[in-house]
Amino acid sequence: MSDFKIAQRETSSVNVLELKGYLDAHTAPKLEEAFQDLLKTNRTKIVVNCKDLSYISSAGLGVFMAFIEDVRNKSGDIKLTNMSKKVYNVFDLLGFPLLYEIFKDESEAVRKFSDRSPLDNDRK
Amino acid sequence: MKLRRIIYLGASALLFLIVFVIDVMRKNVELYVGGLNLTRDILVIVAFALIYTYFDAKKVHLGLTPIKRLGLVMIYSVIVGLFCLAIVLIADDTFDTKDKTLIPLTYGQLFIATFLSIVLGIFAILVFRLVREFVLFKRKRGTKRNFLIFVGLMLAAAVSTIPLQHLERSVLTSILVGFAILFAVVNSFRLPWIVYLTKREKIFCLIYGFVLFFTFVGLNVALGAESSMIRRSLLYHSYPLKQFVFLTTIFGNIYFGMAFISTLFHLPTAGAFDRKSSEVTSLHNLSRLVTQVFDFNELVETVTSMTLQVCEAKSCWLEIIHYADEQERNTLATNEVFAYNGTIGNYIIQLAGRKNIEQGEINSLLLTGEKTLRDQVIEERKPIVVEDLAADNRFKAIRKTKSAIGSLVVVPLVSHAGMIGILYATKDTPYGFFKDDVDVISAFADQATIAIENSRLIKKSIERERLLREMTLAQEIQRKLLPQSLPCYSTMEIDAISTPAFEVGGDYYDVVELDGNKLGIVVGDVSGKGVSAAFYMSEVKGIFQSLSRLYPSPREFMIKANEALSGSIDKHSFVSLIYAVVDVVTGKLTLARAGHCPLLHLSGENVAYLRPGGMGLGLSNGTAFEHSMEESTIHLKPGDVCVFYTDGVTEARHGDDEFGYERLLQAVVASKQKSASAVKDDILHSVKAHADKEENDDDLTVVVVKWLGSQP
């Protein structure tokens, strides 16, 4: 339950967070800290790679909700990639694909940042 | 009481007067009254006995400290000594001797003799009473006996002189006097009060004793020398009295002489004794401290100030170790760097209190080198003494700050559960802490540990009780928010259950009877757990109960509900809802889904999950929500089963294996013939059988609707 790690790296001026394990109320603070850090240093081009994310609870989803507005206000975005079917279903049920850009693979998301095409979903 | 005292005083004054009158008469006229001398002697004795009794009744000099008593004796003896000196210098000896009898030649002499006798008599009585207190202090077996023997001998010696002429001596008297002096010496070994004087008092004792000794020597000379006018005056007035006074002053001389010598020998250890004494007092105080557990800050204040007292330290400070994870208390890694009020590894060091030292100084003392003192004491769990800070290479850093610390001792506070803190004390001088000090501080630290541990436990206990009360209350309230009963229809069955994960959860279901034979059914899930989720849940209920009546279309309801909720919900949180309106006459079911689990619909051989589009409430307050919200309609046939649920059902886990949508489907299919209640129970049963934990991790909610159709 409390097994959760975040690996951070940078590729073409985009910050990639690789999530591993369970993201729930217990471990959500770690992700909060990571976002806070990135925001503080104005690194707002963020891609979250969920390849090794085995579970996400409403608390985990709440973390994205909490930061997305501030990130977008600084001309950045949080894009999600590489979700397993199960995890994607959780996001999908709630309607996240309508609010966030979700890609099959990380490279697509990174490319999207350099495309600089306007995001067409509604901002919160 | 007062009357009795006045009577004593009055009576004795009267007797003295009578004796004086007799003396005056004798001077002028030869009185040959038989037994006159005896009578006279007895009257004097009785007079003094009355004075003694008067002092007893007035409780004079009771309850004084030894040193005050000593001071008093000294004052009296100096006054009397000076008084005698004055008499000797001013007056002449005008006694005539005839047949070993003294005859005063002048009235002045007679008056002086009487006056001297009374003064010295009272003096002797007072000194006697005071010395008695000294001798009987902390008495042992035989102490009182020895003293009474002395008193007895003294009185016997006095009484034995009654038949004698003024200047006559007798063998008997001499023997009795000898024995009396012997017992005076025996009693003079009773000096236990000296040890208990403070160092300062002992010095005063020396001074007083010195003065006393010489004063008494002077008095003894005055009372013993043949030619002494004082002796002769006393003898004339009352031989027994002279004997009594003389023996008292001898006793005083011996006793205070011994006291002087004894004090002298105790002086070198006086400092150490004082320290030991204050250590014991401090430890007593500290064990009372163990009950003073309700205010942690007060406790820390007491511990630090007492540490200073107990080992006469210059400065001290107390650190408390807080464990982020209580279970790891005993497994402390020591090769980590420590910092103040910061988290390192599993624990935080908190500077709880300090005396006479600044935090900066503490930092430079302890953040030295690879292995700090703190590391060491945590590792070894034993006290550490740094004898000479200046010479110790570990503390180069602090020498730069010109700190005045000479030596330092560090003591761990170890409770049954592990190490909870560290106590430090410093002194100005190197080698300031002896083994004794370390032992005392350790004993002291043990007491402090108990007190601190108790304080924390009590605080936790109080906090837990408070939380428990709050939770119970929240639970009560939340239970009441769920429907207390479900409506009955001939056309359909409905049953439901909702069990929260913790005492208070975020799951919700509700029903509302709407106009036009319609029943609204809603199931929801607030993100998060516990009390905060429950608060949002109750808001949703309010929104539901009011808006559902205004907006009979599920889709419209969702849009309005989202508007209402978005205003107050915080960034982190959202609510998933599924809302169906069933026409209980026709069986038409209209459905909208806001981010919630899809509705399971079983109809005959077909089973499917209905998943109209729609995002969760609180995720977006713009048009995205409206655009995404769809509405579905189905027509229920007899035998149809609809199951509403929350993700507590599908996500119930056995290891990594979730219960999932498939199993839920299977369970419903298997029970499709049964009543709504039975279906609900079967679902619950399957979920519980699958999950590997006793309690559910997530809130669990199931609502089952079975359409029966209109009865023919």
The whole domain housing A43 covers 4-114
Q: Cβ contact (<8 Å) for A25 and B528?
A: yes
Do B454 and B509 lie in a common domain?
A: no
pLDDT in tens, B629-658: 999 999 999 999 999 999 889 988 887 788
Closest alpha carbon to A16 in A85, A79, A96: A79
Provide the 3-class DSSP secondary structure of residue A48: strand
Domain-embedded: residue A121: no
pLDDT at B349 exceeding the cut of 90: no
Domain-embedded: residue B274: no
Q: CB of A66 within 8 Å of any CB in chain B?
A: yes
For chains A and B, CB pairs below 8 A equal 69
Do B388 and B531 lie in a common domain?
A: no
* B230 — pLDDT class (breaks 50, 70, 90): confident
Which residue type does B394 have?
R
Angle, vertex CA B52, rays to CA B50 and CA B54, nearest 5: 70
Domain-embedded: residue A123: no
Do B686 and B611 lie in a common domain?
A: yes
pLDDT at position B160: 86
CATH code at position A14: 3.30.750.24
Domain-embedded: residue A107: yes
Do B443 and B505 lie in a common domain?
A: no
* B331 — pLDDT class (breaks 50, 70, 90): very low
Q: Cβ contact (<8 Å) for A65 and B574?
A: yes
Tell me how crowded residue B128 is: count the other CB atoms within 10 A of its CB.
20
Domain-embedded: residue A83: yes
Domain-embedded: residue A68: yes
Count of structural domains within chain B: 4
Q: Cβ contact (<8 Å) for B595 and A123?
A: no
pLDDT in tens, A10-47: 888 899 999 999 888 788 888 999 999 899 898 889 99
pLDDT in tens, B601-627: 999 999 999 999 999 999 988 789 999
Count of structural domains within chain A: 1
Q: Cβ contact (<8 Å) for B619 and A66?
A: no
DSSP-assigned states of every residue in B201-235? HHHHHHHHHHHHHHHHHHHHHHHH-TT-HHHHHHH
Give the CA radius of gyration of chain B: 50
Q: Which residues of B touch A93 (CB under 8 A)?
A: 576, 595-598, 611
Highest mean pLDDT among A92-106, B94-108, B259-273, B433-447: A92-106
Domain-embedded: residue B286: no
Classify the phi-psi angles of A12: left when phi > 0, otherwise alpha if psi is within -120 to 50, otherwise beta: left
pLDDT at position B594: 95
pLDDT at position A93: 93
Residue of B nearest to A92 (CA): B595
Output the six-digit token pair for B259.
Answer: 């006291």
Q: Which residues of A touch B622 (CB under 8 A)?
A: 122-124
Q: Which residues of B touch A25 (CB under 8 A)?
A: 528-529
CATH code at position B351: 3.30.450.40
Chain B closest-CA separation from residue A86 CA (Å): 10
Which residue type does B277 have?
S
What H or E segment, with its residue span, contains residue B51? helix B36-58
**CA–CA separation, B222 vs B226, rounded Å?**
9
Q: How far is CA B13 from CA B50, B51, B238, in A?
A: 9, 9, 16
Chain B closest-CA separation from residue A36 CA (Å): 14
Mean pLDDT of B217-242: 84
Output the six-digit token pair for B611.
Answer: 């998943």
Provide the 3-class DSSP secondary structure of residue B605: coil
The whole domain housing B134 covers 65-268
Q: CB of B624 within 8 Å of any CB in chain A?
A: yes
pTM for this prediction: 0.55
Provide the 3-class DSSP secondary structure of residue A117: coil
Domain-embedded: residue A44: yes
Q: CB of B524 within 8 Å of any CB in chain A?
A: no
Classify residue B295 by its DSSP letter.
Answer: -
**CA–CA separation, B659 vs B650, rounded Å?**
5
Do B200 and B308 lie in a common domain?
A: no
The partner residue sitting opposite A66, judged by closest CB among B525, B571, B597, is B571
Do B49 and B82 lie in a common domain?
A: no
Domain-embedded: residue A79: yes
Do B568 and B646 lie in a common domain?
A: yes
Q: Which residues of A touch B615 (CB under 8 A)?
A: 94-96, 98-99
**CA–CA separation, B445 vs B443, rounded Å?**
5
Q: Cβ contact (<8 Å) for A62 and B620?
A: no
Do B248 and B310 lie in a common domain?
A: no
What H or E segment, with its residue span, contains residue B98? strand B95-98
Mean pLDDT of B577-586: 95
Domain-embedded: residue B315: yes
pLDDT at position B287: 73
Question: Which range among B156-170, B236-250, B417-431, B505-519 shows the weakest confidence by mean pLDDT?
Answer: B156-170
Highest mean pLDDT among B111-115, B376-380, B600-604: B600-604
Which residue type does B436 have?
D
Angle, vertex CA B180, rays to CA B169 and CA B95, nearest 5: 35
Mean pLDDT of A57-85: 90
Do B253 and B117 lie in a common domain?
A: yes
What torsion, rounded to 10 degrees, do the Cα atoms B91, B92, B94, B100 define? 110
pLDDT at B337 exceeding the cut of 50: no
The pLDDT mean for chain B works out to 84
Do B552 and B646 lie in a common domain?
A: yes
Domain-embedded: residue B71: yes
Do B56 and B70 lie in a common domain?
A: no
pLDDT at B329 exceeding the cut of 50: no
Do B577 and B678 lie in a common domain?
A: yes
pLDDT at position B290: 66
